[in-house]
Amino acid sequence: MLAHLWPIPCAGCGSEGKLRLCLDCHPSEAESFEAPEMVAEAWAAAQYGDPIGKAVLSSKGRGDRALAIAIAEAVAAPLSAVVGSVDAVVPVPSPWTRRIVRGFALPSVLAEPLAAKLTVPVHHRALVAHRGPRQAGLNAHRRKQALAGRIRSPLPVSGTILLVDDVTTTGATASACARELLGAGAERIVFAVACVTPQDADA
């Protein structure tokens, strides 16, 4: 009823309707991209300039959890179709201060429907992150320096782990996470993201 009185603009394309992310903006298939260091393979549901990327930016900027859930449901199907057999899903961690401000951690939201489709558990506490400088605008070398010592794996893991994030640019965060997971007992790391950004972009 309310959607008819006040149509919801799609966060991806801006068209008015009943959904925060219209079906036309759902990605149809995931694509592989160059795997970051320590990662066996990497997959993205979309490019950052695609509707999914715009929706991710809107969700994080506005603290819109409902949109985050819509994004998660949209990317779960194409990503689950390509990542193969895994033993668990681990979201890239966010510092607690950021989670409080935003109200949620988008990688954790993305992990749930993806794990459900793969019928494996989500290990939300397999990685923890400590506060540090924002990475937007930093090149790969400076991002790697900024991440040093910030990500830790406090719990043992095993098998093939699917590491999940919302956006990746240089792959520095994924590499730092993969290094910790492998050190905690994982045998192989697969990386999946909602969208991938060109390395020269400010994201």
Residue 148 lies in a domain: yes
Contact in structure between 111 and 90 (CB atoms under 8 Å): yes
pLDDT at 150: 79
Exposed, middle or buried by CB within 10 Å (0-12, 13-18, 19+), for 134? exposed
Amino acid at 109: V
pTM: 0.86
Q: Is residue 165 part of a domain?
A: yes
Q: Is residue 40 part of a domain?
A: yes
Distance, in Å, from the CA atom of 189 to the CA atom of 33, rounded to the nearest integer, reads 14
Q: Which residues contact 203 (CB under 8 A, 6 or more apart)?
A: 48, 136, 167, 169, 197
Distance CA 56, CA 200 (A): 19
In a domain, 24, yes or no: no
E-strand stretches of 1-133: 8-9, 16-17, 31-33, 41-47, 88-91, 128-129
96 or 66, which is more confident?
A: 66
| Token representation of residue 128 | 């923890």
Say whether pLDDT at 64 is over 70. yes
Residue 87 lies in a domain: yes
116 domain-assigned: yes
Q: Which two tokens stand for residue 129?
A: 């992150």
Average pLDDT over residues 177-203: 87
* Neighbour tally for 13: CB within 10 Å: 14
Q: Which of 6, 7, 12 is nearest to 45 (CA)?
A: 12
Mean pLDDT, residues 169-182: 94
Structural domain that includes position 121: 30-50+78-196
Q: Is the predicted pLDDT of residue 1 greater than 60, yes or no?
A: no
Q: In the chain, what percentage of residues exceed pLDDT 70?
A: 85
Q: What is the pLDDT of residue 186?
A: 98
Average pLDDT, the chain: 88
Question: What residue ranges in the chain does DSSP mark as E strands?
Answer: 8-9, 16-17, 31-33, 41-47, 88-91, 128-129, 151-152, 159-168, 186-196
Mean pLDDT on 84-104? 88
Q: Give the domain CATH number at 181.
A: 3.40.50
pLDDT digits (tens, 9 = 90+) for 136-155: 554 454 544 445 467 999 99
Residue 7 in any domain: the answer is no
pLDDT in tens, 103-133: 899 999 999 999 999 999 999 999 998 755 5
Q: How many domains does the chain have?
A: 1
